[in-house]
């Protein structure tokens, strides 16, 4: 294979500047950079990147159109397959999806597909390109979508294309699910999320905010009023370690911490009335995307030192490679092979330290699986002002407790068949609610596929 040109680097805020603000870290490609990067694509006859994308964007054609400066055409092409390219281009784990499958990956430098997707989405937005959404306005069928995260919004967008009358019910006062309340501004600016949702509303989708299905509107009412229902309620309940001291003040779940920072705009205090004081030294437990977001947010909120505590090695951290790198560049410290034993409080009930134990990876079960085990006698104390637990999330039991007829597994994950239908006819589910905590693009893909199943169901 001929030698491949290196990727066009992304210009971004320097670590020293960005830790003092909440603005986007990357500046995004300009037109010339995008053209140069898209030209790196060698236009494979059978592009291996496309099947690796959960919403199967026509990546090769997108690259060709960008390389020819046909930006409008590239934007419309991408929007055909993905209603939310500005979001997915920024937060998808591309290194494990399209870019991981790109033929140039073998030489270590795949095409920057995600950054090109974000570029073209921003270009379409900045040039106010109109996208024809409704393909068939002759249906009188009504669809209820529960939850306005990526799964619900993608299902709504696709159902609207079929011409259905679509209403999305959302418990919070803002739509977007984790895109709005979880992922911080410096990774996914909220005006971008708001704009993609605005386009959906302009296409005719109705948004009912502050509506909790199972509380101020019952599931029975939905079944009576709508021809089909899609459940995209996510898996937003935090998981805890279950150790001593978790109830102390200033021990947060990452969800609570990020909701305060993002949705309640604590970083704009006192302009927004959400105080948040992280103190000097913060410990974040876990090493996934959520942990990186919490750690980087704490740094921007004024913490002098932020420590990631992880029971496995750094290499095993589940966070996206780019997010981990950004966090380390910003000065966040990574403590591998350590695990909390208990949180220690002061006389006023505030956390003041963590007792940690060192861990080692031990082969277990004969299959070579390495399991972290505590090393006896290796305990030590770390002084802290704030602890944030980022150990993953599980389905929220509130909705499920009000709808016991919906079949779930013992973790509360909604069971669906190959057509995304639950055990109740006409009731579909997708995203984290039916897969457990996963990714934005997986939720987008499932919402879209569920909409197609709804179409088949309603049209025989």
Return residues touching ligand FAD (CB under 6 A): 91-93, 146-152, 169-172, 177-178, 182-183, 212-214, 232-234, 236, 258, 289-290, 293, 320, 396, 399, 431-433, 437-441, 443
Nearer to ligand FAD, 64 or 154 (CB): 154
Binder of residue 124, out of ligand SF4, ligand FAD, none (CB less than 5 to 8 A by kind) = none
Q: State the nearest-atom distance from the C-beta of 89 to ligand SF4, in Å.
A: 14
- Between β-strands 386-389 and 251-253, what pairing exists: parallel, antiparallel or unpaired? parallel
Q: State the nearest-atom distance from the C-beta of 447 to ligand FAD, in Å.
A: 7
Contact with ligand SF4 (CB under 6 A): which of 74, 104, 259, 319?
A: 104
Which of these segments, 46-54, 169-177, 242-250, 448-456, binds ligand SF4 (CB under 6 A)? 46-54
Residue 63 touches ligand SF4, criterion: CB under 6 A = yes
Contacts 24+ apart (CB under 8 A), 53-61: 53/97, 53/98, 53/441, 54/97, 54/439, 54/441, 54/442, 54/444, 54/445, 55/81, 55/82, 55/88, 55/441, 55/444, 55/445, 55/448, 56/81, 57/81, 57/82, 57/85, 57/98, 57/117, 59/98, 59/113
User: Is residue 222 within 8 Å of residue 452, measured between CB atoms?
Assistant: no
Nearer to ligand SF4, 28 or 47 (CB): 47
Q: And the tokens for 227? A: 């021809």
* Closest C-alpha among 22, 5, 10 to residue 267: 22
Q: State the nearest-atom distance from the C-beta of 192 to ligand SF4, in Å.
A: 23
Residue 301 touches ligand SF4, criterion: CB under 6 A = no
Which of these segments, 42-50, 232-240, 256-264, 359-367, binds ligand SF4 (CB under 6 A)? 42-50
3-class DSSP assignment, residue 272: coil
Backbone angles phi, psi at 215, to 5 degrees: -125, -75
Residue 52 touches ligand SF4, criterion: CB under 6 A = no
The angle subtended at Cα 274 by Cα 438 and Cα 84, nearest 5°, is: 35
Residue 103 touches ligand SF4, criterion: CB under 6 A = yes
Q: And the tokens for 106? A: 């073998």
Which of these segments, 29-37, 38-46, 237-245, 316-324, binds ligand SF4 (CB under 6 A)? 38-46
Contact with ligand SF4 (CB under 6 A): which of 18, 60, 90, 442?
A: 60
Binder of residue 245, out of ligand SF4, ligand FAD, none (CB less than 5 to 8 A by kind) = none
Q: State the nearest-atom distance from the C-beta of 370 to ligand FAD, in Å.
A: 25
Residue 49 touches ligand SF4, criterion: CB under 6 A = yes
Ranges assigned E (strand) in 100-204: 142-146, 165-169
Q: Which residue has the tokens 């199972």?
A: 214
Position of minimal CB gap to ligand FAD: 149
Beta bridge partners of 251: 387
Binder of residue 104, out of ligand FAD, ligand SF4, none (CB less than 5 to 8 A by kind) = ligand SF4
Q: State the nearest-atom distance from the C-beta of 230 to ligand FAD, in Å.
A: 10
Q: State the nearest-atom distance from the C-beta of 256 to ligand FAD, in Å.
A: 11
Q: State the nearest-atom distance from the C-beta of 322 to ligand SF4, in Å.
A: 18
Q: State the nearest-atom distance from the C-beta of 72 to ligand FAD, in Å.
A: 27
Backbone angles phi, psi at 259, to 5 degrees: -65, -45
Ranges assigned E (strand) in 275-426: 281-285, 305-309, 333-335, 338-345, 351-364, 369-374, 380-383, 386-389, 393-394
- d(CA 189, CA 178) in angstroms, rounded, equals 13
Q: State the nearest-atom distance from the C-beta of 46 to ligand SF4, in Å.
A: 9
Distance from chain centroid for Cα 92: 8
Q: Which residue has the tokens 């704030």?
A: 386
- How many beta carbons lie within 10 A of that of residue 192, not counting itself? 21
Per-residue interface string for the shown chain with ligand SF4, residues 105-144, x marking contact by CB under 6 A: -----xx-x-------------------------------
- Interface with ligand SF4 (CB under 6 A): 41-44, 47-49, 59-60, 63, 102-104, 110-111, 113
């Amino acid at each position: 294979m001929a030698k491949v040109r290196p990727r066009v680097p992304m210009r971004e805020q320097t670590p020293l500047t960005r830790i003092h603000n909440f603005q986007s870290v990357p500046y995004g490609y300009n037109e010339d950079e995008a053209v140069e990067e898209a030209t790196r694509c060698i236009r494979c006859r059978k592009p291996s990147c496309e099947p690796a994308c959960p919403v199967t964007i026509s990546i090769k054609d997108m690259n060709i159109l960008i390389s020819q400066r046909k930006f409008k055409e590239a934007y419309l092409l991408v929007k055909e397959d993905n209603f939310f390219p500005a979001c997915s281009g920024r937060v998808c784990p591309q290194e494990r999806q399209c870019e991981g499958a790109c033929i140039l990956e073998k030489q270590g430098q795949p095409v920057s597909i995600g950054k090109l997707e974000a570029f073209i989405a921003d270009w379409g937005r900045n040039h106010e390109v109109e996208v024809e959404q409704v393909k068939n306005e002759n249906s009188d069928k009504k669809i209820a979508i529960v939850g306005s995260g990526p799964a619900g919004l993608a299902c709504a967008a696709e159902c609207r294309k079929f011409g259905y009358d679509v209403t999305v019910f959302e418990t919070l006062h803002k739509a977007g699910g984790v895109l709005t309340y979880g992922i911080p501004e410096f990774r996914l600016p909220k005006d971008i999320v708001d704009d993609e949702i605005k386009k959906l509303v302009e296409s005719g989708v109705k948004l009912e905010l502050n509506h909790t299905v199972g509380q101020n509107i019952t599931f029975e009412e939905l079944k009576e009023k709508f021809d089909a229902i899609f459940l995209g309620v996510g898996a937003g309940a935090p998981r805890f370690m279950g150790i001593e001291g978790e109830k102390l003040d200033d021990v947060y779940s990452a969800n609570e911490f990020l909701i305060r920072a993002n949705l309640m705009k604590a970083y704009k205090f006192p302009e927004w009335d959400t105080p948040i004081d992280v103190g000097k030294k913060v410990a974040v437990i876990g090493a996934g995307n959520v942990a990186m977001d919490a750690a980087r947010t704490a740094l921007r909120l004024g913490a002098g030192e932020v420590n990631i505590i992880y029971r496995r090695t750094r290499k095993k951290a589940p966070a996206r490679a780019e997010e981990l790198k950004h966090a380390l560049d910003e000065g966040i410290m990574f403590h591998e092979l350590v695990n909390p034993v208990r949180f220690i409080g002061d006389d006023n009930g505030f956390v003041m330290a963590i007792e940690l134990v060192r861990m080692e990876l031990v082969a277990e079960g004969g299959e070579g699986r390495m399991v972290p085990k505590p090393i006896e006698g290796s305990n030590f104390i770390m002084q802290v002002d704030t602890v944030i637990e980022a150990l993953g999330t599980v389905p929220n039991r509130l909705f499920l407790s009000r709808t016991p007829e919906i079949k779930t597994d013992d973790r509360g994950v909604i069971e669906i068949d190959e057509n995304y239908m639950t055990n109740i006819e006409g009731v579909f589910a997708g995203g984290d609610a039916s897969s457990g905590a996963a990714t934005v693009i997986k939720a987008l893909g499932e919402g879209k596929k569920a909409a197609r199943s709804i179409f088949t169901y309603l049209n025989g």
